[in-house]
Structure 1
Amino acid sequence: MFDALALDRPMLEAGQLWRLWTGHLVHVDPAHAGLNLTALVMLAVVAVRSQAMGRLLLASLVLMPVISIGVLLLLPDLQWYAGLSGLLHGWLAWLLVQRRGIVAVVGLALLGLKLWWEMSSGAVGGTGVSVTTEAHRLGAAGGLVLAWAAHGWRAARGRGRLTSRSVRAPR
């Protein structure tokens, strides 16, 4: 299963585009999967409680290939990638922006510190798996951009600047 779904550069270049999404769903070992699934459950609880799960899942469809392509561009020697942590960083950033207020400010500051620490000191993790920290930064940046875009969209709709006519595709 791993070989068929992991983000594998040669297979992607051969046309297996689904790997841009599925590479985030497979893990190299049970410890790696366990860490990611624990974080996923915690973030999913927050998303459900804030009634944001549907929007977050939709954002994930955009975040997954953005993270995948970004990792491949930033790391030209990387041959494969697997794991959910990049997407989870995107979820966390997205949820914090949606939250707003002091919790969001402190949470985003802590997320930024974590990403800075990873960048300056290398990978974290106790699973023995090499951590692709670039995926964390790409996920967080993508989550921020999508959350701010969604917030701007809702604000513009609320002010009447966007109507169903203004967003319709031309005929």
Structure 2
Amino acid sequence: MCDFISINKELFEQLDIFINSVSDKEDSLMPILHKAQNLFGYIPNDVQNYISKKSGVSHIKISELINFYSYFNTEVKGKYKINICVSGACAKNDSKMVLKEFENQLGIKSGFTTDDLKFSLECSRCVGVCRRSPIVTVNGRVYEQVTPKDVKNILIECN
């Protein structure tokens, strides 16, 4: 834990300032977690322990919130977070073939990050654009009616 904290000292200082700025730490836990996610890019166990110590909120409660909400990550993710919807209309319109093409192009399976930390690939649930399925999002940008042939161009746009 000391190595992670010392390496990221400035980020922890920024997190401290934010935690200290809120009066009710427990009621402000979600904004604290969002701040941590924005600062570090993910919320590893070291950061969870630190938040627990500084806020007085149990590590168990912090961990449960992080695991419940899909926005939070406990592992480092790539610069480009690619999500392929695999439910409902997207599945019906061959989103699994799109996923397979991303896996082939990136050389990773869903749930993993490339070694250079450039891309993370995930399956997602419905994003609400079913009429234009299959849907792919990259860092929140929505791509509609994606086919396996579109994958290469989507990855080129990330460069």
Q: Smaller-chain TM-score range?
A: under 0.3
1 or 2, which has the higher strand percentage? Answer: 2
Q: Choose between structure 1 and 2 for higher RCO, CA contacts under 8 A separated by at least 6 residues.
A: 1
1 or 2, which has the higher helix percentage? Answer: 1
**TM (normalized to structure 1)?**
0.27
Structure showing greater radius of gyration is: 2
**TM (normalized to structure 2)?**
0.28
